[in-house]
Chains A and B, each alone.
Chain A
Amino acid sequence: MANNNEKSAIILAGMHKWYGDFHVLRDINLEVKKGEIIVVCGPSGSGKSTMIRCINRLEEHQRGQIFVDGIELTNDIKKIDEVRREVGMCFQHFNLFPHLTIMENCTLAPIWVRGIPKKEAEETAMHFLEKVKIPDQAFKYPGQLSGGQQQRVAIARSLCMKPRTILFDEPTSALDPEMIKEVLDVMIELAEEGMTMICVTHEMGFARKVADRVLFMDAGQIVEENTPAEFFDHPQNERTQLFLSQILH
């Protein structure tokens, strides 16, 4: 395991999770290399979100091991904080802080968690807001922005912590069709720049274009795992075939 840690951004090894008696994740094994783009799809309730939420310890796993950048996630709060500093996350419902301006949303964690001086943090924030193409909204509040803009701010907020990995939890599912593209464009740009990404999404166009691997999950297990071309054109598992026939029409 230790040798792999050098090249791997994330390793899940024999990971299990229960909600009470309910066995949500069953023997998850996954290794994500640095710079790799993984797309996770599957029916709702299959455990996709739960799996990526285990990677930054928003959920606790009960068996098996998780390594992020070589750090094993345990109950050790220091380790958890260390992992969270290096792993960004974007949520389905953005979860921007509504009482803070866009700029404050982006500079809060760099200032308080990384201890970066305010001015420098604001410069970094402006840089990333330009990257997601909304520098002109910097001094508005999240409530004044459209959904697509909010999600791009959420991406910029993650980027401001200069993470090595970003987890996306259905980033476009709560958006109007018109706004999905603007968010995906930002994600594609990030992917092309070599960010390690794990995306739970049903945007199959995005998966085909940038994913290195696509995972299909069902009933708490990884059912199939392949390159996008193979995954979409020659799905092996019956369950995957059914799922793809339903979402690709």
Chain B
Amino acid sequence: MIVLEGMFYGFVASCVLGAFAIIVFRNLVYNALGLLVCLVSVAGLYGLLHAEFLAATQLMIYAGGVLVLILFGIILTNRVAGKKWEVGSRHWVAGTLVTLGIGYLLIRAYRPADFGLNTPGPVADKQARQVGQLLMSDYVAPFEVSGIVLLVCLVGAALAASAYKKSI
């Protein structure tokens, strides 16, 4: 039990560190690695909250798919030889003030105790099995529509990125 507690706080800490790495580093590949750390630790948090299906989905789709896509984007759009993969930033003071203000408002507006987050309730067991059954029964219409969305998005992305002449 103490191991699981330690893993929970470790995942929280690595998530915070990964998000900081995206802000602090100037190198694009370091930013992508920070995003990887953040996404993998979020997947670990899902696993520790008994959302196993969501954890596997997060690992396969985000850490496996989206991150590879982003790395391909970095490699394909910065192909000037000898130039470093660096990126600057601007508007530091205004951005920090605005985001800290939004964070303060969120924390003040939503007190977690009002939503019963502190009162331990019954935790459903075998959640992956239940999610599968719900996807095939109650949520079957969004499931099918999401298949169509994925197909349209794949065809659109392939068409937009290809060198097809009339598509410009």
**Pair from one complex:** no
